[in-house]
Amino acid sequence: MTTPATPAAHCGCGAQPDGRRAVLVDPDIKHGVLTRLRRIEGQVRGLQKMVEDERYCADVINQITSVQEALRGASRELLRNHLKHCASTAIRGGDPEAMEAMYRELLDLMTRSPRG
């Protein structure tokens, strides 16, 4: 069982109280992630066509693996942004409650296992 993400109002990073907006997204990271997600979107459409066309299962599985790795790459970039901006702000802020909340959030992000 995973711990729910801590609301941004308690994380000390200065995010919006609803917790749904990033404090700061590095423009290069944002551009890279959006580019990667658009590429992934095309790959997923290709996967759908492969299944519709009854392509060889191993070929489809290889393409699925490729999409999964691309998603992991996008996740790593967003985690990099989160560490650089939100986490470092919360930890440097010195508020013990905010620091603990951020530690819990980071541990949850890094230990979350994919569901199948």
Interval 57-112: pLDDT, tens:
999 999 999 999 999 999 999 999 998 888 888 888 888 998 899 899 999 988 88
Which pLDDT band, with edges at 50, 70 and 90, does 20 fall under?
low
User: In sequence order, what DSSP letters do the residues of 39-67 get, joined into one string?
Assistant: HHHHHHHHHHHHHHTT--HHHHHHHHHHH
93 or 10, higher pLDDT: 93
Round to whole Å and give the CA distance between 103 and 97. Answer: 10
The whole-model pTM stands at 0.72
**What are the structural domains of the chain?**
23-111 (1.20.58.1000)
